Structure 1
């Protein structure tokens, strides 16, 4: 009898679903899909809501003209036109400015919930609002974060590759179209999220890699004044060496020649009339690096200082983020993905990485300072080797060099600038170090591999919970910690305070106390640390810049 009563209660609950129903937005009415997640827990999922019209080629996005009737927002839209993984073809569409929303209802219909807006990464070249897909399991599904953290999650599309970031370096084709798309989505969320049960004054933007740098740019531009309350940059900030192209015309001229356009004053006009697929295909990048020509320098399609979205060098714009709470960090071996292409011996069990390769790589990263720069760099990175470094020590050093140069040091510099310009905004620093799950298995990856680039994504998006068979209990621990810190931060501006308990109290990063937490499955209060890689931060931000410049682009 008791079993029948429980069954009846569940049936009754699923029949009387808690849902927003049809939602009114500035463009018209939308209806998503309502799903039952468990006792008194429901979620409305909206996929493919337009936040702007179909963008004009190399133009800023404009408001969507709206629609009649009820828009059924139940499937993801195509990603923006982009190269395939092998860079030999293109897919996607120019009609791609859509966003997706996950709204949790716990016991009652959502109201005044904090909002977390995700900006995907992919080198400004590739990616989509839904992320990679394996068996209909999309990486950037906001369901786990929304349900566990009781926050609304939004993911958005933006133009990438040639159509998103090609720039002539002047007013004829200023660039940054992908950043304008992101900004249009943030502004749309601010104007419309109240209808979905969200609080427009509690918008947190977060992103990883090029998405993390985008988050940083969105906090620095004057165009978002008052729209963003908080921001999280994972493995990418505006100060990264790949985040700004300081000579965009050079690459645009190379593209123009490939598609038979002139490189004079008619270049922009011709490029605008070129078939978009041809244009996208022409903007491939070279993925064969070497210690003498590291791949990071090939990421030419990136934001530019255009005098509008970015009125100045990013390092001079941190006053615009003074009242935004900011959390940023890197993975402890973020650079490994690049090192494997620049110095392939790092992943070989048979080949040793040579001291000469270390020196050549450092020469590339310090080239404007000449021999003095590379000698100082080598002295810094070999200081802990002793007289007879092992093969493993040398390999780990090469990974550390690329991690520092490409991700970790710029992130520390951004945290320092945020803290020193802060008004009401608080600053938090982290290092993610959960080891890569492929290290040492039947893969080319070494057994000592820490957290590689993008390893954090699966945990932030709760994959160990949604696909439990692929993970161990410790992975669920890590995922739980990250969702707790991230959603607490979105609610209160303090990662320790909110609805979810955390394994260690995370202190703020200040101009004088450089505290951070190290996040992994073993975490406890001993993982609160300070002065992350201080010797190396000091070298890259203080010693090297003060050496005389020998060579300039």
Structure 2
């Protein structure tokens, strides 16, 4: 018995001292050294944190290549997130020196080569966020270790400018905007040029992101500047066509910011803004977290992409030919709109208080105001069909959440899937609905018992948190996490979420033909979780019926 123990100890020792690792890696900027983390027998991951992919950015300028460094860069710590508002919007955090990325490379019995690469773009309304995500007791949300290890892929997370420093625009060449999107593009290009040194396959890069990150992924597939660098893409709860994806009147917002920082609003505005203290500029981008009858919360997201004639040479809906050879997954959470609707209609979260039908009408009126009373009436008729004569409290509250979900996320995502499919050459198209109920639903929390998957609920499962922190989850949560990592990494390898090294619980069909099938993702899913024509009645209303109604401006002209 003692001999057996000695043999085991020797085996473990030999495996540890001979750990497979990349060691020092040569990149275009110089040599970098990360850390090798042991996960199990013959399972390690090389982790590199804080590699610069571009130089410190100039104020309101595109990113520039990094000049490089001497010696070996110790890439062992996350670098600060880009300068941004804190969550309470009372102060700032982060730094202007923030264009860094992080890499996780799985290692088995030999050094990995030619692995698929998955590049993560975080969300946060283009106002907040970082490449590492939220942190609790040194457990970072966007730690790529679980995806890399379980899916045998390289994971990259990147930082990009947000808020006024990332997205302020006059709509003119003096302040064109889209700086945060250019940062993302520079990081993608860096990965394309350098990832082979880390054991990655530059011809097999998959972008994935959530919310504003999902819309960013969509933008990166549509811009002509990434031609040939992106093989596949996954947009979670956000696409370029979302109502908050493009800012239609950036000049007005730039003038509001200029007035807050004592800059003129004439031809001198851009020059003045470029010389203004970055802290003041960032604080000037504070948004209201309140809503009013004619200004729902989503309309407060005032900093986003702009059609600048360069990064976006045209309206996003006219750029899908650039994604013709990119495999694409896009989907939403079944109650993605809850986060927003609960601010617009606070009674939605109360188990004891009714939500007046007038509140729903007001929300619909704000979403359809360009069409006046006819828009509101048609919308209300669409959503109240099937209520019966006396709808109960839960029905009305769920309908309110459905309205927000459809308008802010679901219908634009369906539109993006239609356009991707229509323009596709070799690119495949897949649609999903994530429906794993919120973990707080039914507990003594602000969440009602009928809650489905709220906005951002999918993140913890994609990044494997039920495995990283098992005490915080039930076995069913590990199931749904395992399924999502399997689908996502299979897709990154082959362009087919069903084909790869990981087993999946149901065969996910392509979004094609007249059936337009999609997969519902849930912990007990099987082949009965394949559906078709997601919320067709409501997609038809927002995409066809509402646009066909006369706009108020047209009516006014005719009068």
**Separation in 2 of the partners of 1:54 and 1:16?**
38
Q: Secondary structure at the match of 1:458?
A: helix
* RMSD, aligned α-carbons: 0.9
User: After the TM superposition, which of the residue ranges 106-115 and 482-491 deviates more from structure 2?
Assistant: 106-115
Retained in 2: the 8 A contact 1:290–1:341?
Answer: no
Describe the superposition over 1:310-331 as per-residue Cα deviations: whole angstroms up to 9, x where unpaired: 0000000000000000000000
Q: Quote the residue 2:404 is aligned against.
A: 402
Q: Quote the residue 1:378 is aligned against.
A: 380
Question: 230, 233, 242: which one pairs with 2:232?
Answer: 230
Q: Quote the residue 1:128 is aligned against.
A: 130
**Separation in 1 of the partners of 2:5 and 2:522?**
41
The 5 Å alignment of 1:96-115 reads 96-115=98-117
Q: Tell me the CA shift for residue 183 of structure 1.
A: 0.1
Q: Tell me the CA shift for residue 511 of structure 1.
A: 4.8
**Separation in 2 of the partners of 1:182 and 1:370?**
39
**Separation in 2 of the partners of 1:112 and 1:135?**
34
Question: 210, 214, 217: which one pairs with 1:215?
Answer: 217
**Separation in 2 of the partners of 1:289 and 1:433?**
27
Q: Quote the residue 1:344 is aligned against.
A: 346
User: Are 1:75 and 2:77 matched, yes or no?
Assistant: yes
Describe the superposition over 1:246-291 as per-residue Cα deviations: whole angstroms up to 9, x where unpaired: 1001011001001000000000000000000011001100110134
Question: 475, 483, 486: which one pairs with 1:484?
Answer: 486
The 5 Å alignment of 1:459-478 reads 459-478=461-480
**Separation in 2 of the partners of 1:378 and 1:356?**
10
**Separation in 2 of the partners of 1:282 and 1:59?**
19
Q: Secondary structure at the match of 1:263?
A: coil
Q: Tell me the CA shift for residue 44 of structure 1.
A: 0.5
Q: Quote the residue 1:527 is aligned against.
A: 529
Q: Tell me the CA shift for residue 513 of structure 1.
A: 2.6
Q: Secondary structure at the match of 1:339?
A: helix
Describe the superposition over 1:380-429 as per-residue Cα deviations: whole angstroms up to 9, x where unpaired: 00002111000110000000000000000000000010001000000000
Describe the superposition over 1:132-176 as per-residue Cα deviations: whole angstroms up to 9, x where unpaired: 000000000000000000000000000000000000010000000
Describe the superposition over 1:19-70 as per-residue Cα deviations: whole angstroms up to 9, x where unpaired: 0000000000000000111111111000000000000000000000000000
**Separation in 2 of the partners of 1:290 and 1:409?**
23
Question: 347, 361, 379: which one pairs with 2:363?
Answer: 361
Q: Quote the residue 2:35 is aligned against.
A: 33
Q: Quote the residue 2:23 is aligned against.
A: 21
Q: Quote the residue 2:446 is aligned against.
A: 444
Q: Secondary structure at the match of 2:304?
A: coil
Describe the superposition over 1:208-242 as per-residue Cα deviations: whole angstroms up to 9, x where unpaired: 00000000000000000000000000000000000
**Separation in 1 of the partners of 2:193 and 2:40?**
31
Q: Tell me the CA shift for residue 4 of structure 1.
A: 1.9
TM-score normalized with structure 2 length: 0.98
**Separation in 2 of the partners of 1:551 and 1:37?**
62
Describe the superposition over 1:472-498 as per-residue Cα deviations: whole angstroms up to 9, x where unpaired: 000000000000000000000000000
Gaps of 5+ in 1: none
**Separation in 2 of the partners of 1:426 and 1:39?**
37
**Separation in 1 of the partners of 2:443 and 2:9?**
45
Q: Tell me the CA shift for residue 549 of structure 1.
A: 1.1
Q: Tell me the CA shift for residue 451 of structure 1.
A: 0.1
Retained in 2: the 8 A contact 1:322–1:424?
Answer: yes
Gaps of 5+ in 2: none
**Separation in 1 of the partners of 2:49 and 2:90?**
29
User: Are 1:325 and 2:319 matched, yes or no?
Assistant: no
Q: Secondary structure at the match of 1:386?
A: coil
TM-score normalized with structure 1 length: 0.99
Question: 289, 302, 310: which one pairs with 1:300?
Answer: 302
**Separation in 2 of the partners of 1:551 and 1:356?**
25
Q: Secondary structure at the match of 2:44?
A: strand
Q: Secondary structure at the match of 2:148?
A: helix
**Separation in 1 of the partners of 2:418 and 2:129?**
30
**Separation in 1 of the partners of 2:70 and 2:25?**
13
Retained in 2: the 8 A contact 1:420–1:511?
Answer: no
Q: Secondary structure at the match of 1:34?
A: strand
Retained in 2: the 8 A contact 1:416–1:511?
Answer: no
Retained in 2: the 8 A contact 1:291–1:343?
Answer: no
Q: Quote the residue 1:392 is aligned against.
A: 394
Q: Quote the residue 1:539 is aligned against.
A: 541
Q: Quote the residue 2:434 is aligned against.
A: 432
Retained in 2: the 8 A contact 1:43–1:104?
Answer: yes
Distance 1:520 1:88, change over 3 A: same
User: After the TM superposition, which of the residue ranges 10-19 and 188-197 deviates more from structure 2?
Assistant: 10-19
Q: Tell me the CA shift for residue 352 of structure 1.
A: 1.0
Describe the superposition over 1:88-145 as per-residue Cα deviations: whole angstroms up to 9, x where unpaired: 1001000000000000012211100000000000000000000000000000000000
Q: Quote the residue 1:204 is aligned against.
A: 206
User: After the TM superposition, which of the residue ranges 350-359 and 228-237 deviates more from structure 2?
Assistant: 350-359
Q: Secondary structure at the match of 2:552?
A: coil
Q: Quote the residue 1:247 is aligned against.
A: 249
Retained in 2: the 8 A contact 1:436–1:451?
Answer: yes
Retained in 2: the 8 A contact 1:464–1:476?
Answer: yes
Q: Quote the residue 1:419 is aligned against.
A: 421
**Separation in 2 of the partners of 1:88 and 1:42?**
42
